[in-house]
A and B are shown apart, each in its own frame.
Chain A
């Protein structure tokens, strides 16, 4: 009888302890490699939220387009001339780059190199951003039906953005390079010094395991090395903004990512063929 009274008086505390134990177990399960919980999340909640996010995105795009079309008319003539000149210069550049491409293919054949870019490029639109301040992620409007796969690298045309971590039928979640658990094998473009780029949970990145005396200076470009087997070689990651010696053997290097997180609207997903 006293047991029943005890349980009756402590139902709230007992239930709270039980729920905390479940939460801890779920957290531990999430951090396991290959855990199904992230995919479960995007399939349960993402399917409901994604249509609303798409609708919100399209509405904002329409409003922005209307604003640009009717309010900025006085700038159109100036922009048109500028774009015309730029277009001519780009056409010339494309022509010379095509030549370089052909030469590259001929030389590769000669040296018997394998195909260096076995990816299919799929464009996607960003329809949502991280719902929490402590998880840096994006939602894109491509899912399983478009060929998205967990682990596929994502770029914004010129720079690395991140990696797909969860896929539902119509949407996917991209973990940004700036998240705490993101990492990428990298090189300093000029000196070819290797290191590991790690997300810090803020807008900046840090490059670890770079030895003192490596000659890394502020302004150096950082690119992906391709050695991690995830990101292709040579993709721009960011620019070194701080390079200081520490008391140990390594340098403390801060890198500003080239992708502008807050202006990301379209991305490219590299899906392996």
Chain B
């Protein structure tokens, strides 16, 4: 169990590293895709219980600490995104390529909505075309990243039962 948690936190730190170092490359107008959204989707599909919720919260907190400025908005948006994935997962076949793409789009929009709703009490954020660009780049990359993490991740009994 601790090994599993350790591996998941390595994925999270890798996501933070990629977000800050490489993520300017595959982007439109130099807006980076949001790797937290991809990690949250992966966790929410893999662990649909309280364990997944807590992991999403802590991953959001790590991304908040990495941004250095505001601690809390990413954590809150990760929690809401988990609930959205759980809900949408019951309505759509989200494990297909298109399903993951649509899920990436919905979750990215939700995350930005929650993020800006939280900070708007203190500052006036500049909301515009950049938000849509981030949503589009995130949704396009989500199927690839989620499938890559699933491919390298160890299968849980839940996955084996699903496959059977």
Q: Which A residues are closer than 8 A to B by beta carbons? A: 11-12, 15-16, 19-20, 22-31, 37-38, 40-42, 44-46, 48-49, 52-53, 56, 128-135, 137, 139, 165-166, 173, 175, 179-181, 200-202, 262
Contact = CB atoms under 8 A, between A and B. Distances in A.
A49 B13 contact: yes
A133 B75 contact: no
Contact of A23 (B16, B73, B86, B126): B73
Contact of B20 (A16, A23, A128): A128
B75 A131 contact: no
A12 B65 contact: no
Interface string B46-77: 00011001100100111111111111111110
Interface residues of B, number: 50
Given A24-B72, A128-B21, A131-B19, A44 B125 contact: no
Interface of B: 13, 16-17, 19-22, 24, 30-32, 34, 49-50, 53-54, 57, 60-76, 79-80, 82-83, 86, 115, 118-119, 122-126, 128, 130, 134
Nearest to A175: B69
B66 A15 contact: no
A84 B58 CA distance: 57
B76 A15 contact: no
Contact of B62 (A19, A22, A45): A45
A12 to B, nearest CB: 6
A89 B67 CA distance: 44
Closest 7 CB pairs of A and B: A27-B72, A41-B65, A26-B72, A23-B76, A201-B126, A131-B20, A23-B72
Contact of B53 (A15, A23, A46, A201): A15
Contacts of B73: 23, 27
B75 A23 contact: yes
A23 B70 CA distance: 10
Given A15-B50, A135-B70, A24 B130 contact: no
Contacts of B128: 202
A37 B71 contact: yes
Nearest to B56: A19
A11 B50 CA distance: 8
Contacts of A40: 65, 71
Contact of A132 (B67, B72, B82): B67
Most buried by A among B72, B74, B123: B72
A130 B76 contact: no
B46 to A, nearest CB: 15
B57 to A, nearest CB: 5
